Amino acid sequence: MHGHRSDVPGSATPIAIGDAGTGALCAHDGNPAGDVDYWAFTGQAGTTIELQVDAAKLGLLVDPFVALFASDGTTRLAFNDDADGADPRLQFSIVTTGTYYAAVTDAVGNNGNPFPYTLHVRSIVPGPGDPITVRAENLGFPLGLAVGSTGDLFVGDVAGNRVVRVSGQGAVTTFAAGIPQPLGLAFDASGQLLVASLDGTVYRVTSQGQATRFITDAGFPFWIAVARDGRIWLTDVSDRSLRRYSAAGRLEAQFDGIAIGGSGPGPLAIGPSGEPYVSNFTEIWKLVDGQFHRVFTNGVLIWAFAFDVAGNIYVPAPTAGRIQLFDGTGTVLTDPFAVGPDAPQAVAFGRDATGATVARLFATDPQAGRVIEMNPAGVAHPGLPVGFTAPFTPEAAAAGLLGGDGLSVADRQFLDGIGNHNGRFDVGDFQAYLRTLNGLPGSAP
Amino acid sequence: MNSSRWVLAILAMPLLGVACSNDVTGGGPQAGSLTLRLTTPHADDGAMTFQVSGPAIDNATAANASLRLFTRREGGSTVVGAVVGALANGALITLRVPDVGAAARYSATVLEVADRQDALRTSLTGYALTVTR
């Protein structure tokens, strides 16, 4: 099957699943967007297909794209650029039986050299996380993802300069507006949302959605996580460092991440033992006693990963259009775990109404403007709890404040860090600790 | 006893009863509540630790629902506490004591105060706690 292909879906060249077709992208095609070849096939609900384009691997200096469109010919369902070197490959779980269109184009539009390609359309075995379910769509460019204490999803919309809240019923509301290009998100020890912004600031957002500048001494704060002790970790792209802040936002330590290579440190998560893990976009490293140690190297691009309680790591691989599952040592457990996502960039486990982390995995899918959920039947373990965990009761903290035993030196330092960090545990720190527990009079329970 | 004397006698009985009751309680301790009242020079106090010493204190509770109180007994006659909330001039803590008549023998001291942004007050000038019936 070869020849000049159609530039419009309505006259797409038919192709059967399991077949390969050849075509050529022509530099001087009449389409102002460049030559676009459409191929049509019938997809059966419940199956998963893969579209693969071979061109660069033939030795050509080219950069083709492939996209999948729904039966209306205009709704883009999935897109891929560079899954296999410069060649694209995407997977998609078909939910509705019907006609689908594969579109092949290239990076340089109508100004590049003409080149031949081969398109493979095949059925593949989906992962345990398939099929996916769309939980929210039309979100602009959703990137960062954090899950609130009652299970609502908080999503940074880079294009809309806002954070949206997605309820368990799928209702989407703007939670905080006016935060320029939000990147990483995490809830701090007081239950307020921290948002790293491309303007160089980490904002702190109250439960009412009021955002104020919180951390301003990082050049380019990128990703952010809060440890169980309430300390804040963030990666700073400007000097390629991993930084640790007190719960009150005071810089405590800075670790040079240049040595880990790649473009890291980038996305960040707190591991099972409380240590920070970072990605350099192809590898995951962890910080132990101030030193970075490589956990594993992946063959494809890695974005914002998440741990389950067993220490397994769910890794979104946006250029490959899938989510992978590794154990804590980096051994592949399931790949693909899910192929339904288009270009997933951040994953996070859900929480129930009590705040407990559950075996539900969500992901942002920015190219498609949506938040998706993997098939919960395929998620073996609940997520590792994220964020601050109160180490003792208010009564225990009060007893320590009022002269009783029971708080260690480290506990007192921690409480001082939560509060006014004046070098000792005092009543201001106690008030701050109650606030983190929603324990102040009039606080929500 | 004629009828008018009978009526007077009946009317006098409650009065005698009252008089007898007063005689019994007036001679010993009367359990009840005292109020720990705060005087503050600031309008944005958020938390305070304090100490109350003197005769026995059975228990202590916050004076209203906008305050949260934590206490610890330090020896037989001293209670230390932390109270958190929108602190203001006036009633702060209710002390349940075995003898309200001993109110004047209690002494109360402000130990630390923080504003509502968790900063510790550097001076306690102008603060006072008093125990009243």
Between residues A115 and B45, which one has the greater pLDDT? B45
Domain boundaries, chain A: 9-124, 133-378, 394-437
Q: Which residue of B has its CA nearest to A425?
A: B120
Q: What is the mean pLDDT of residues A82-105?
A: 89
**B122 touching A (Cβ < 8 Å):** no
Buried b (16+ CB within 10 A) or exposed e, A288-316: eeeebeebbebebbbbbbbbbeeebbbbb
From residue B65, alpha-carbon distances to A349, A428, B47, B84, B108 in Å are 37, 20, 15, 11, 22
**A395 touching B (Cβ < 8 Å):** yes
Between residues B20 and A432, which one has the greater pLDDT? A432
Q: Reply yes or no on whether the pLDDT at A33 is more than 70.
A: no
* Token pair in block for residue A441: 């009079």
Determine the pLDDT at residue B58: 93
Q: Confidence class of residue A5 from pLDDT cuts 50, 70 and 90? A: low
Interface test with B, best of A214, A405, A407, A426 (most B CBs within 10 A): A426
Determine the distance from the C-alpha atom of residue A404 to the mean position of all C-alpha atoms in its chain, rounded to a whole number. Answer: 45
Tell me how far apart the alpha carbons of residues A50 and A384 are, in angstroms, rounded to a whole number: 32
One of 2.60.320.10, 1.10.760.10, 2.130.10.10, 2.60.120.380 is the CATH number of A9-124, namely 2.60.120.380
**A1 touching B (Cβ < 8 Å):** no
Q: Would you say A162 and A177 are in contact if contact means Cβ atoms under 8 Å apart?
A: yes
Q: Reply yes or no on whether the pLDDT at A28 is more than 80.
A: no
Q: What is the mean pLDDT of residues A147-156?
A: 95
Determine the pLDDT at residue A111: 61
**A426 touching B (Cβ < 8 Å):** yes
Q: Reply yes or no on whether the pLDDT at A110 is more than 80.
A: no
Per-position DSSP letters for A163-174, written without gaps between them: EEEE-TT--EEE
Determine the pLDDT at residue A78: 87
Contacts across the A-B interface (CB distance below 8 Å): 74
Determine the pLDDT at residue A30: 59
pLDDT tens-digit series, residues A95-106: 899 999 999 998
Confirm whether A9-124 and A133-378 share one CATH topology. Answer: no
Portion of chain A with pLDDT greater than 90, in percent: 68
Contact (CB<8Å) A422/B120? yes
Determine the pLDDT at residue B79: 96
pTM of the model: 0.72
CATH class of A133-378: mainly beta
Determine the pLDDT at residue A254: 97
Pairing verdict, β A13-14 and A37-43: parallel
Collect all residues of chain A within an 8 Å Cβ-Cβ radius of residue B65.
441
| Cα atoms found within 13 Å of the Cα of residue A39, Cβ hemisphere only | 29
Determine the pLDDT at residue A112: 66
Contact (CB<8Å) B119/A420? yes
Determine the pLDDT at residue A62: 85
Q: What is the mean pLDDT of each run of 10 residues along chain B (133 residues)?
A: 44 39 58 97 98 95 96 90 97 96 97 96 98 95
Q: What is the mean pLDDT of residues A56-63?
A: 83
Instruction: Please tell me which of the candidates B67, B115, B118 has its beta carbon nearest to residue A429.
Output: B118
Tell me how far apart the alpha carbons of residues A292 and B79 are, in angstroms, rounded to a whole number: 50
Instruction: Please tell me which of the candidates A398, A420, A442 has its beta carbon nearest to residue B82.
Output: A398
Q: Which residue of A has its CA nearest to B74?
A: A403
Q: Confidence class of residue A29 from pLDDT cuts 50, 70 and 90? A: low
Q: Which residue of B has its CA nearest to A432?
A: B118
pLDDT tens-digit series, residues A169-226: 899 999 999 999 999 999 998 889 999 999 999 999 998 999 999 999 999 999 999 9
pLDDT tens-digit series, residues B100-128: 999 999 999 999 999 999 999 999 999 99
Collect all residues of chain A within an 8 Å Cβ-Cβ radius of residue B84.
430-431, 434, 440-441
Contact (CB<8Å) A420/B48? no
Q: Which residue of A has its CA nearest to B79?
A: A402
Contact (CB<8Å) A431/B113? no
Min Cα–Cα distance to chain B from A440, Å: 7
Q: What is the mean pLDDT of chain A?
A: 91
pLDDT tens-digit series, residues A301-346: 999 999 999 999 999 999 888 999 999 999 999 999 998 888 899 9
Model ipTM value: 0.82
Residue A317: partners with Cβ closer than 8 Å, 6 or more residues away: A298, A300, A301, A302, A303, A323, A324, A344
Determine the pLDDT at residue A86: 86
Contact (CB<8Å) B85/A440? yes
Q: Reply yes or no on whether the pLDDT at A17 is more than 70.
A: yes
Contact (CB<8Å) B84/A441? yes
